[in-house]
A and B are shown apart, each in its own frame.
Chain A
């Protein structure tokens, strides 16, 4: 659609700008403030320059958490995106099955995140949990509180359980927008199941898939509550992701300088990745 140039439109966006500036810019400036200052208490601050940043970038603790977080994000994306597409392709398109599927599948999305953690903490326990109990019965030596691999598996399965539905719903929305005529044409041409997917369904889902990847990457990169409730970042530090580490540093140990420096590095990483995604998405828009 052709848009007209009109700077008065700023009046329409003004409330949003004021509100978000209050919620985002002022707090962010506080963080910047802390990241360049040091204190010995008594509210006396002095200039520390980039000390905290260089300290943070040289600490193994930060890189380990970043590395763990990246592995986590890519693992959940690698599972959720194909699984979500697969489930969406097999969803019913008509009848009573549609609302039933939609309502039941959306259910995990609306459970508070710490309750999601609680559900899986209980579900995985070897003494009282369904999963832990039956894995033991099957002879699997499973204990997420002691074994780092089990802890990782639990956290990843939990995230798949929690968020795959978002990918399913997005893909399903893309699929139902395809007119029936496309499929009839494909049938006349004798197209195989694969080529229907490759040349009709996938292109239609491209846009929603980009959104799904974007949202899933960002949210998994910021994950805090669910693994914190299930594993508390342990055993050891094996499931300590960036946000968990940050909260531990800022609120647990009250190391405001390093925590603020880490916040800014963390935020810059996310900003960079968002910018890449955004550029890809808008250039995709321009093409279509």
Chain B
């Protein structure tokens, strides 16, 4: 934007906002480097006796670090499944009209609006019936409930921005549909796929209610490990804070990789 529209001091607004965002996170980081007696005993803005004990507890105890591995496994599975099935569907919605297309699109969207609380118990029974409780794939498929509609929605927006002449030219040149789709079309909407994958990753990573309901030990997500261990051993504030800090890191890495796409993606796509 041209500078004359914006007042000189406009950088203050995002700065204040970012400070507001970072302060609670800083507080968690601060706590994660203190031992419990310091957390509860003395109020201090930074650790007086910095310690990495809390992190060592997590990195040496399998029940802790397995939580991270489990979360990452089902989130990656979910992202892969969601984007893979959403790609052809989004193409269909962006290029063709077919029987019941509008109703189908709305029905998909309603699943994005379905409260996880409504589904927690039925999911448990459904996946018990299939013997899938406490597996990564169960959580990955359950999260498709809200991620697939979102991925279809985002990708459809991106695909509608690609001129239809490209498809037609490719068909005239003798490309089959699958070959055209993978070789020509997907590279054109690469940033859209990135944005869709980002959102799937995000919503699967942050969800806890369904993930917790469907797992007991073998696939337990880190977020659920936090709640359980904390209530069992009395509050170990330091370890809780360290575990929280570690859950922020994967998200931060993912944002860093898609940072150039976020704004562009939001603008081109529908979301």
| B-facing residues in A102-142 (Cβ within 8 Å) | 102-115, 118-120, 122-123, 127-131, 133
User: A202 vs B122: C-alpha distance in the bound complex, in angstroms?
Assistant: 43
B13 interfacial contact with A, CB 8 Å: yes
Pick out which of these stretches binds chain B: A7-15, A41-49, A71-79, A143-151: A7-15
**Contact status B142-A122, CB under 8 Å:** no
Main secondary structure of the interface of B (DSSP, over half): helix
- In the complex, which range does the number of interface residues on chain B fall in? 35 or more
Query: If the complex has contacts A169-B266, A170-B266, A173-B266, are A130 and B23 also in contact, measured as CB distance less than 8 A?
Result: yes
Main secondary structure of the interface of A (DSSP, over half): helix
User: A168 vs B21: C-alpha distance in the bound complex, in angstroms?
Assistant: 13
Chain A residue nearest in CB terms to B256 = A103
- Chain A residues with CB under 8 Å of B122's CB are 26-28, 30-31
B171 interfacial contact with A, CB 8 Å: no
A–B Cβ pairs within 8 angstroms, 7 of them? A7-B98, A24-B111, A104-B21, A113-B207, A115-B223, A123-B27, A274-B110
**Contact status B123-A27, CB under 8 Å:** yes
- Chain A residues with CB under 8 Å of B255's CB are 102-103, 106-107, 110
User: A221 vs B88: C-alpha distance in the bound complex, in angstroms?
Assistant: 31
- Chain B residues with CB under 8 Å of A199's CB are none
B263 interfacial contact with A, CB 8 Å: yes
A208 interfacial contact with B, CB 8 Å: yes
Other A-B pairs, 11, CB within 8 Å; known A24-B145, A225-B208: A13-B93, A26-B126, A90-B6, A90-B11, A104-B18, A110-B252, A111-B251, A118-B226, A173-B267, A176-B263, A243-B115
Q: How many A-B residue pairs have CB under 8 A?
A: 295
**Contact status B92-A111, CB under 8 Å:** no
**Contact status B114-A270, CB under 8 Å:** yes
**Contact status B115-A242, CB under 8 Å:** yes
Query: If the complex has contacts A4-B96, A184-B2, A270-B113, are A251 and B244 also in contact, measured as CB distance less than 8 A?
Result: no
**Top 4 A-B pairs ranked by shortest CB distance?**
A110-B251, A173-B266, A27-B122, A12-B92
Chain B residue nearest in CB terms to A218 = B113
B237 interfacial contact with A, CB 8 Å: yes
A93 interfacial contact with B, CB 8 Å: yes
Name A residues whose Cβ lies closer than 8 Å to a Cβ of B. Answer: 1-10, 12-13, 15-17, 19-20, 22-24, 26-28, 30-31, 86-87, 89-93, 97-99, 101-115, 118-120, 122-123, 127-131, 133, 161, 164-165, 168-170, 172-178, 180, 183-184, 186-187, 193, 196, 207-208, 211, 218, 221-222, 224-225, 229, 242-244, 246-247, 250-251, 256, 259, 263, 266-267, 270-271, 274-275, 278
Pick the contact of B270 from A8, A211, A221, A242 — CB < 8 Å?
A211
Residue in B1, B81, B207 with the greatest tally of chain A CB atoms within 10 Å: B1
Nearest Cβ in chain B — how far from A81, in angstroms?
15
Pick the contact of A3 from B27, B97, B119 — CB < 8 Å?
B97
- Chain A residues with CB under 8 Å of B149's CB are 20
**Contact status A16-B263, CB under 8 Å:** no
**Contact status A183-B1, CB under 8 Å:** yes
- Chain B residues with CB under 8 Å of A173's CB are 262-267
